[in-house]
Amino acid sequence: MAENQFSQDGAFAVDSLILRNNADLANDWGNLVNRSITMVRKYFPDQMLKPPAQATHSAQVRQSFEKLILELREFLDQIEPSKYIAACNARSRLLNLYIDQMKPWALAKVGTPEARSDLAEVLSALLEGIRWLATAFLPVLPFGMPEVFRQLGLAEPQKIGSLTSLEWGAIEFRVGEPKPIYPRLELPVDSKPGA
């Protein structure tokens, strides 16, 4: 769905499906979910996390996600599933970039109250972004998203109306055990270069 426009003929190839799975689901989205939950369990074990009332460095992340709902509504109205998926994937990459910029592992080593507060803001923004993306992905990835909600420690949202009812910071998180959701797939031997 991500590569083919709804109104056009599409091409399907197993190799392309495997490459898309590995790039978007295993490497980008799956890695984001796994490492975010792992960091929460490491740095805030058995604690509830919630985005702060006054965001500092996570404000741009929040603004981007609040725009996402309108974008997705527009793409649904236009029957553009590839654009819908691209908008979700862009937010997944945004969260991964946020991790790289904020370096939560470095904040954890500082150990000051300010650094601990920044760390909590980073991790809660990640969890909130993952919750929003899992809600958005639910119609197109219905078998993997329930596991994301389980790992977030949340019930799966209702299938209809859940996107429009999302509110940033309305949920506290107590995460579960991280587990890979989308494992990497291998290309068939005859498809590999040099085979």
Kindly indicate the confidence band of residue 195, based on its pLDDT and cuts at 50, 70 and 90: low
Judged against a pLDDT cut of 50, whether residue 2 lies above it is answered with: no
Kindly indicate the confidence band of residue 63, based on its pLDDT and cuts at 50, 70 and 90: very high
Judged against a pLDDT cut of 50, whether residue 1 lies above it is answered with: no
- Residue 143: partners with Cβ closer than 8 Å, 6 or more residues away: none
Q: CB of 95 within 8 A of CB of 32? A: yes
CATH of domain 14-188: 1.10.730.10
* Interval 49-54 mean pLDDT: 84
Stronger pLDDT, 74 or 191, i.e. the higher one: 74
Listed ranges 27-31, 81-85, 96-100, 164-168; the one with the highest mean pLDDT:
96-100
Token pair for 12: 């399907």
* Interval 62-86 mean pLDDT: 92
- Report the distance separating Cα 145 and Cα 151, nearest Å: 10
* Interval 103-125 mean pLDDT: 95
* Interval 70-77 mean pLDDT: 92
Kindly indicate the confidence band of residue 4, based on its pLDDT and cuts at 50, 70 and 90: very low
Q: Domain residues of the chain, as ranges?
A: 14-188
In the numeric block, the tokens 């920044």 are attached to 118
Residue ranges of the alpha helices (H) in the chain? 14-20, 31-43, 59-77, 81-102, 104-110, 113-137, 145-152
Stronger pLDDT, 29 or 72, i.e. the higher one: 72
21 C-beta neighbours (distance < 10 Å), count: 16
Q: What is the pTM of this model?
A: 0.84
Give the per-residue pLDDT at 167: 92
